[in-house]
Amino acid sequence: MLDLRLIRSDPQGVLARLQRRDPTLDLAPLLARDEERRALSQKADDLRRRQNEASERIAALGRDGQHAEKEQLLAAMRELAAERKGVEQRLQEVERELEALLLALPNVPHDSVPDGTKEEKVILRTFGEPPKFPFPPRHHVALAHDLGLLDLERAAKVTGARFPMYVGDGARLEFALLQWMLELHVREHGYTPVLPPILANRASFVTSGQFPKFASEVYACPEDELFLNPTAEALLVNLHRDEILSESDLPRRYVAYTPCFRREAGSYGEEQRGLIRVHQFNKVELFQYTTPDASYAALDEIVRQAEVVLQRLGLHYRVALLPAGDLAQQAAKTVDIEVWLPAQGRYYEVSSCSNCEDYQARRGNIRYRPTDGGKPRFVHTLNGSALATSRLFAALLEQNQRSDGTVALPPLLVNLLGRATLG
């Protein structure tokens, strides 16, 4: 959520920055509601003051026996009460409308974020080279089927399309990756491990930024007013909701494993095949709470920590800075890590690392008390996948395939699985 005082003090400046994301954004309805809210609030205060003055006068008249004037004041009091009730009812309506308009606004892009849409992302660096094969590289679905690693047909029978099921060495590989990544971030990067619930309430999703805009993309349990986790970011950002932390306790670093559930409406073509864009996948998520002056150094740190995973697995990837038009609702700046899939001849995002600045903290009222005193301030929140395993699994198969249909495992996985090849 954006700071309403900032919008009020510099509406044109805020609008210009927001329109870098979406040229159609308009602050006029929000500013109109804010002006009406302030006018109604002032009127309600004035009516309340007049009621109190009349009440004091009526009490004095009662003692002096001036009954005629008292009756006139009582009638006026009833009119004031009725008018005040109507004003306060409208004030509540306007406050709800204003909050809805504020919740619908995306975060303001950081100045370092380039203009443009999805196709105009900036490639910051690459690691390694795309593997070259003396044969047409096979798709991970074909490899996994022949090697007995995935059973997509039975998964569809059990649940439906685009819900994967890992079997045999595929299940072992998935668990090995998750356990290794979790331990890596705990032991080497200093994160506190969390195994959170995978259901969250509406307030949690409002804080994270999923609601209200993306409510239709989330799987819901309506009877309980609970929602399935689309990313552990939505859970971890709520660990300190409505709390005031000490500056000396920052940064707070958390790492969580969760299954993630997404409707993924609107995806099509090649993205619907195999593990590219599925409704359920596993992910290890990094999350940090920091002071504002430390948050962009923390973003660089999270990106490097996510890159370590791919580097140690020997996978070719690239790092991209997203333009303003491709930022998620809550993000002020996002850096994606994209892994190469040879059979598709393209890169796919396997990690998205974002600084949300104080956008989520304002929604969740998450603050810290400065060491040098003063009023509590909003923290900055950051998140990054490190990593999501579905596309990582696909990249491991496709980048390490052999002409005979087997897959050579990187040394790290040889140690974890106790074998050098799959197949």
Q: Which of 17, 33, 162, 391 is catalytic?
A: 391
The question of whether 277 is a catalytic residue gets the answer: yes
Q: Which of 204, 352, 354, 390 is catalytic?
A: 352
Q: Tell me, letter by letter, the H, E, C secondary structure of the chain.
A: CCCHHHHHHCHHHHHHHHCCCCCCCCCHHHHHHHHHHHHHHHHHHHHHHHHHHHHHHHHHHHHHCCHHHHHHHHHHHHHHHHHHHHHHHHHHHHHHHHHHHHHHCCCCCCCCCCCCCHHHCEEEEEECCCCCCCCCCCCHHHHHHHHCCECHHHHHHHCCCCCCCECCHHHHHHHHHHHHHHHHHHHCCCCEEECCCCEEEHHHHHHHCCCCCCHHHCCEEHHHCEEECCCCHHHHCCCCCCCEEEHHHCCEEEEEEEEEECCCCCCCHHHHCCCCCCCEEEEEEEEEEECHHHHHHHHHHHHHHHHHHHHHCCCCEEEEECCHHHCCCCCCEEEEEEEEECCCCEEEEEEEEEECCCHHHHHHCCEEECCCCCCCEECEEEEEEEEEHHHHHHHHHHHCECCCCCEECCHHHHHHHCCCEEC
Residue count (the chain): 423
Q: Which of 270, 349, 362, 377 is catalytic?
A: 349
The question of whether 262 is a catalytic residue gets the answer: yes
CA distances from 43 to 81, 93, 212, 222 (A): 12, 15, 31, 40
CA–CA separation, 413 and 421 (whole Å): 9
Q: Which of 277, 318, 363, 367 is catalytic?
A: 277
The question of whether 90 is a catalytic residue gets the answer: no
Tokens (6 digits) for 26:
């308009």
Q: Which of 84, 262, 318, 363 is catalytic?
A: 262
CA distances from 293 to 133, 251, 329, 366, 378 (A): 47, 11, 22, 16, 12
Residues with catalytic function: 262, 277, 349, 352, 391
